[in-house]
Amino acid sequence: MREIGVPHPRPPLPAADSEDDMAAFLAWLGEAIPMVPALGIREMTRDGDGLAWSLSLTPSLNDKGTGFGGALAAQTTLLGWCWTTLWLRRHGLARDVVVAEASQRFLAPVTGDYRLTCEPEAAGGPEALAERLAQRGKGRIALVQRLWCGDTLCLEARGDYAVLPDG
pLDDT of residue 17: 75
pLDDT given for residue 16 in this prediction:
75
Residues in contact with 130: Cβ distance below 8 Å, sequence separation at least 6, in sequence order: 91, 139
Give the pLDDT band (50/70/90) at residue 14.
Answer: confident
* pLDDT tens, residue by residue, 26-64: 999 999 999 999 999 999 999 889 999 999 999 999 999
At 92-126, the pLDDT tens digits run: 999 999 999 999 999 999 999 999 999 999 999 99
Degrees (nearest 5) of the Cα angle 69, 71, 76? 90
Q: Per-domain residue ranges for the chain?
A: 22-163
CATH code of the domain made up of 22-163: 3.10.129.10
